Amino acid sequence: ILMDRRADLITPFCIQQTYEGMLDEHFGINATMLRTKSSIIRGSDEEEKKAASEGSLPKFEVMTLKSDHDLILDEIRDLHFVALESKFSQRVIDIDRIIKEKDNPKNVDDLEKYIEKLKNMKIVKVKDKLTFHI
């Protein structure tokens, strides 16, 4: 089928250009659930290679894409591809800065402030989610 672009000028521009749109286009999002291979989420192809050598099907996992479960997703879901790199870089710098602050408390008050900052930021969850999205 050949299509004359003079008849339809809009369709070539109707592509997903946001992070969530990219996920939906490549993996498919169904009711906030993303189903994809475990190797993509876990970052390891070893299990997939082992399954392929044994002749079994690759394992799949389902991720919930909800803002209340994922602090990073809330910030990046509607960002354009170009803006993602700077957002990810800034978050990594922020996490590194907060982790390095643990070596600098001069007194008990500084230590209390640092602990409170860690509680508010939920640094472990943020770090895990950031790793997943990158």
Do 1 and 57 have their domain in common? yes
Domain range for 108: 82-134
- Return the percentage of the chain with pLDDT > 90, whole number: 0
Beta bridge partners of 64: 33
pLDDT score recorded for residue 48: 59
Do 49 and 9 have their domain in common? yes
pLDDT digits (tens, 9 = 90+) for 5-41: 677 777 777 777 888 888 888 888 888 888 877 776 6
Q: What share of the chain is helix, strand, coil (3-state, %, to 5)?
A: 60, 10, 30
Q: What number of other Cβ atoms are within 10 A of residue 131's Cβ?
A: 11
- CA neighbor of 60 nearest in space, from 27, 22, 26: 27
Residue 130 lies in a domain: yes
Do 95 and 128 have their domain in common? yes
Do 48 and 2 have their domain in common? yes
CA distance 134 to 130: 6
Domain total for the chain?
A: 2
pLDDT digits (tens, 9 = 90+) for 32-66: 888 877 776 666 666 656 666 666 666 777 777 77
